[in-house]
Each structure stands twice: as structure tokens, then as C-alpha cells.
């Protein structure tokens, strides 16, 4: 049986298939990871960090090969694929560099005599369930901090990313980590549920859809396992004022088209005050129309194919339904196989389905609002709460609006500013917990209190 295969979305050609593990093989890998935990947790922090740092170096040494792999697997344009490998290396290195800070004792001020500290220690084997849209970056931000902490990793990647999944396992093996510290698993959803329920597994992190998150959280909750969920988003881009509309529109396009629009924290809803709306729509439409669609290996390609034919068909169906319900397409809107052009929708109203949906592809919806209050109301009128973007020349307004937005992240006058030291995560149906930064390293640890009398 083979659920794992490389299908080039640009051509539809199946390039490779990989066999799913048998239940017996899964048990063997679980046993190996469980045994590795006892030795890995006892390894000095500096030694664990040195091995993780070597994994970052191997990302850089294998940069071209790693990037080409995900171009074939999910259609990411080559320049973006190279950038993703670089970012994964930076994240991995960040956690190696901050190992002592992550794992160090936290002294507490106490009311009585004596001392007290919080000691962070690993909790055990963890399962990561990762998506196809950022095959290296998503894994790095989960695996690197937990390996530094001392938690062995079992990693179930998306079925369409088996080669990149194997490449990451090879990196950690070649970096010198002991057998079982990092294990790639080609398993089914049913096998994943059994792994979560296994008493040797202490927690699970999933990045994916609401459906996947709910399914994982149900199994994890039933088995009293810690869970981190990074799910969907419909991030607002709020434009209240600007002293350079052209630059702001360019950032809006960049924020929408990053990763062919297939990013959970991409700007998707563009909320523009009345005085700037007409000019914004005109310029935004023109720049979106100029985004070149084509071969993801070509240097000038902005938009390669979506991750699969099915993904392009889903996006096209959403746009077609929006138009049928009264929305206007100012550019794009016509699918060609797995390719979908940059598309702009206007005249979307709350009674349309697309108003509530996440558009996972290069489609932006532009809304006109009267003022700041209307902009904040519209921004928060969603089940999601991942990221958000605020553009204004008024510093007090920026602080005020940032405080009012119901989201896990607010970026003011900047886009594409994720960085290893910054926490990533959301609220509402966008998930629970955080990844990246020092907060991301604090999710799967035992924060043990040690109180000593005088």
C-alpha cells in the first residue's frame, strides 16, 4: 500500500512512490524512540545543541538539492524554495545557539526562607504532523527546539512530501543524532491516531487544516496528551493611511502571493479606508495581474502551480461560487490545470460563503470601510485569529488597532517579517499554543518546581 507519492503538480507526473509502514514497523520505531529518550535526555545540553547546530549546517550544505525536491513535490517556485531552506537552517541554528537559555533553571523570588527554581526538562517522545506547504520550515520550528530540550521526534509528513521528509531524517542522522532521536514515519491517519494514544508518546503538534486539528485534538484529549495546533487563517491587511501607496500595495501583493498564496498567515482580506480604496484596488489589481505564472524552476516565475490539481480545483470552485453570489473579479479567476493566476475579488458581502472561508491560494478579497472602527470590526468578524497586518502613519493609531485585533500576531507597516526569535501562533479556530521563539520551546517541557528550605 502506498499513500506517499511525489506527484509534480506542474506536470501531473508521478515521480516516486513510498510504502506505508506496517503496524509492526511502527511499533519497532516507537520502541526505538522510547529507548532513545532515556539516553538523549541524559546527553549534556551543549552536546545536544552541537548536534542540532550541525543539522543547520547540513541544511545549508544541501541547499540546492533540498530546494529542488520541494519544487517537484509541491510546486514552490525555486527562489522561494531556496529561501525556505535558508529559513529552516536559521531556525535550527537559533535553537542550538539558545540551548542554555531554553534549558536553564529559572530562579523564583519566594516569600519564605530558602530557594526555589523552575527546572525545564524533557517530557518524552513527541509526534509532529506536518503539512505540505512549507516542508522544511514547518518541521524545523517543531523539531529543533524539542531536540535541544531532549524530546525525541516522530515526524509524520504530508503524503505528498515523502522525499523532503526522508531528506530531513537523513540530515539529523548525518548530523550525529542517535538512532530514534528523530524518526520519519510514512503512516496513515489511522496509524497516527494509534501513535498519539500510545503511552510512550507524550505530546503531539499538528500544523494543518481545522479538520485535521480537530481530529488530532480529539484523540489527544481522549488520551490526556499535550497538543499544539497551528491551523488556518484569514488574516486581515488593514490600510488606514500611508505616505507611499505604491510601496504599500507592493507589500500587499507580496503578502498575498508568498508561497503561491498557500500560507496560513498570508494576508487574505484587504480592508481599506474609503479615501484610499479606489486607488488601492486599481494598483493592487495591476500588480496582481503582472504576477507571472509558469514553470516553478524558471527564475522569473512568481506563481508556480498550486500544490495539486485538487487544490486548484477547490480554489476555483470558491471563486466561481463567490462570483455566482455577486462578487466581482477585477483580474484572474481562470484555472489552467493546477495553475491559478493571481486573482482579486471585490464587492464581497457577509452573506456570501467566501466572506467566512479561507482562500488557500493567490486570491485576495478587498473591502471598503468607512473608518478605523469599521476596519477593526471587519478584521475581527472571522472564526480565525492567526496573524494580521496594520498600515498607518499614526503611531498611536497603530498601537490602538494592534491592541483591538483578535489575533495571535500583529505586524505594523511590514509583511513577511517572521523570524526565528518571534513566536508564531493564533487564537480562535487558528489553533492553540506557540511555535518559534523562546515561547515555542516552552510547549513540551516539564516546568518542574524545586523548592529548597534554608
Does residue 279 lie in a domain region?
yes
282 among known catalytic residues = no
Q: Are residues 221 and 286 in the same domain?
A: no
Give residue 1's pLDDT. 43
Could you give the CA distance from residue 355 to residue 353 in angstroms, rounded to a whole number?
A: 5
- DSSP class of 434: -
Give percent above pLDDT 70 in the chain: 100
Please write the tens of the pLDDT for every residue from 384-429: 999 999 999 999 999 999 999 999 999 999 999 999 999 999 999 9
Q: Are 375 and 238 in contact (CB under 8 A)?
A: yes
Mean pLDDT of 157-180: 98
**What's the rounded Cα separation, in Å, for the pair 85 and 152?**
22
What is the structure's pLDDT at 183? 98
Same domain, 62 and 142: yes
- 250-279 confidence digits (pLDDT tens): 999 999 999 999 999 999 999 999 999 999
pLDDT of the residue at 2: 59
Report in angstroms the alpha-carbon separations of 380 from 236, 237, 318, 377, 385: 8, 12, 21, 5, 8
* Residue closest to 386 by CA, chosen among 354, 409, 411, 418: 409
Q: How many domains does the chain have?
A: 2
255 and 218 within one domain: no
Residue 57 domain flag: yes
Average pLDDT (4-17) is 96
The mean of the pLDDT values for the chain is 97
210 tagged catalytic: no
- What is the CB neighbour count within 10 angstroms for residue 317? 11
Are 239 and 226 in the same domain?
no
Distance CA(14)–CA(19), nearest Å, equals: 14
DSSP type of residue 428:
G
Q: Let me know whether 325 and 378 are in one domain.
A: yes
Residue 427 within a domain: no
Cα dist. 359→142, 315, 320, 439 in Å? 25, 7, 12, 29
Residue 454 confidence class, pLDDT cut points 50, 70, 90:
confident
Catalytic residue among 264, 357, 358, 435: 264
Domain finish residue from 231, 254, 269 = 231
Q: What percent of the chain has pLDDT over 90?
A: 99
Shared-domain flag, residues 197 and 289: no
With respect to residue 425, please indicate whether it lies within any of the assigned structural domains.
no
Instruction: Single out the residue in 169, 203, 231 at which a domain terminates.
Output: 231
Q: Does 49 lie in the same domain as 18?
A: yes
**Considering the domain boundaries, does residue 449 fall inside one?**
no
Q: How many CB atoms lie within 10 A of CB 451?
A: 11
Judgement on whether residues 44 and 84 belong to the same structural domain of the protein: yes
Q: Which pLDDT score is estimated for 252?
A: 98
pTM summary value: 0.96
* Domain identity same for 256 and 314: yes
Same domain, 399 and 368: yes
Same domain, 259 and 185: no
Mean pLDDT, residues 432-451 taken together: 97
Instruction: Give whole-number Cα distances, 362 to 86, 111, 342, in Å.
Output: 23, 56, 5
Candidates 84, 230, 435, 443; catalytic one: 230
What number is the average pLDDT over the span 313-336? 98
| Beta-carbon-side half-sphere exposure of residue 417 (alpha carbons within 13 Å) | 12
Instruction: Tell me, yes or no, whether 62 lies in a domain.
Output: yes
| Same-domain pairing of 227 and 301 | no
Last residue of a domain, one of 231, 265, 293: 231
**Contact (Cβ atoms closer than 8 angstroms) between residue 436 and residue 424:** yes
**From CA 241, how far away is CA 273, in angstroms rounded?**
8
Q: Could you tell me the residue range of the domain that residue 315 belongs to?
A: 235-419
Distance between CA 416 and CA 424 in Å, rounded? 13
CATH number at residue 264: 3.40.309.10
Task: Please say whether the beta carbons of 219 and 198 come within 8 A.
Answer: no
Binned at pLDDT 50, 70 and 90, residue 3 comes out as: confident
In-domain check, residue 445: no
Looking up residue 92, the CATH number of its domain turns out to be 3.40.605.10
Q: Is residue 182 part of a domain?
A: yes
Amino acid at each position: 500500500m502506498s499513500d506517499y507519492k511525489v506527484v509534480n503538480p506542474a506536470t501531473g507526473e508521478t515521480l516516486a512512490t513510498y510504502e506505508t509502514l506496517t503496524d509492526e514497523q511502527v511499533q519497532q520505531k516507537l520502541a526505538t524512540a522510547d529507548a532513545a529518550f532515556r539516553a538523549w535526555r541524559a546527553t549534556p545540553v551543549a552536546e545536544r545543541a552541537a548536534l542540532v547546530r550541525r543539522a543547520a549546517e547540513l541544511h545549508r550544505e544541501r541547499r540546492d538539492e533540498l530546494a529542488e525536491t520541494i519544487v517537484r513535490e509541491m510546486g514552490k517556485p525555486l527562489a522561494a524554495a531556496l529561501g525556505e531552506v535558508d529559513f529552516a537552517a536559521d531556525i535550527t541554528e537559533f535553537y542550538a545557539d539558545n540551548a542554555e537559555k531554553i534549558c536553564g533553571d529559572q530562579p523564583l523570588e519566594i516569600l519564605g526562607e530558602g530557594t526555589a527554581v523552575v527546572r525545564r526538562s524533557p517530557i518524552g517522545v513527541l509526534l509532529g504532523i506536518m503539512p505540505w506547504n512549507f516542508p522544511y520550515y514547518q518541521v524545523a520550528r517543531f523539531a529543533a527546539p524539542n531536540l535541544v530540550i531532549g524530546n525525541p521526534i516522530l515526524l509524520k509528513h504530508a503524503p505528498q512530501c515523502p522525499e523532503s521528509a526522508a531528506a530531513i531524517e537523513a540530515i539529523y542522522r548525518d548530523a550525529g543524532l542517535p538512532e530514534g532521536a528523530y524518526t520519519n514515519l510514512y503512516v496513515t491517519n489511522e496509524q497516527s491516531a494509534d501513535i498519539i494514544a500510545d503511552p510512550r508518546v507524550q505530546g503531539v503538534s499538528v500544523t494543518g487544516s481545522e479538520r485535521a486539528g480537530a481530529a488530532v485534538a480529539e484523540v489527544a484529549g481522549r488520551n490526556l496528551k499535550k497538543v499544539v495546533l497551528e491551523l488556518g487563517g484569514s488574516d486581515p491587511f488593514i490600510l488606514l493611511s500611508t505616505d507611499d501607496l505604491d510601496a504599500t500595495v507592493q507589500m500587499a501583493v507580496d503578502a498575498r502571493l508568498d508561497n503561491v498564496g498557500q500560507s496560513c498567515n498570508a494576508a487574505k482580506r484587504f480592508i481599506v479606508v474609503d479615501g484610499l480604496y479606489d486607488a488601492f484596488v486599481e494598483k493592487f489589481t495591476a500588480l496582481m495581474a503582472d504576477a507571472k505564472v509558469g514553470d516553478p524552476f524558471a527564475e522569473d516565475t512568481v506563481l508556480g502551480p498550486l500544490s495539486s490539481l485538487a487544490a486548484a480545483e477547490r480554489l476555483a470552485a470558491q471563486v466561481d461560487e463567490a462570483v455566482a453570489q455577486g462578487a466581482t473579479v477585477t483580474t484572474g479567476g481562470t484555472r489552467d490545470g493546477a495553475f491559478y493566476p493571481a486573482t482579486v475579488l471585490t464587492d464581497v458581502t457577509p452573506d456570501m460563503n467566501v466572506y467566512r472561508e479561507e482562500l488557500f491560494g493567490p486570491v485576495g478579497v478587498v473591502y471598503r470601510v468607512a473608518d478605523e472602527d469599521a476596519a477593526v470590526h471587519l478584521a475581527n468578524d472571522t472564526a480565525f485569529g492567526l496573524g494580521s497586518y496594520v498600515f498607518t502613519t499614526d503611531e498611536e493609531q497603530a498601537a490602538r488597532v494592534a491592541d483591538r485585533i483578535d489575533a495571535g500576531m500583529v505586524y505594523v507597516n511590514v509583511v513577511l517579517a517572521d523570524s526565528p526569535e518571534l513566536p508564531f501562533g493564533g487564537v480562535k479556530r487558528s489553533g492553540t499554543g506557540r511555535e518559534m521563539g523562546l515561547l515555542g520551546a516552552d510547549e513540551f517541557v516539564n516546568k518542574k518546581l524545586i523548592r529548597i528550605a534554608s
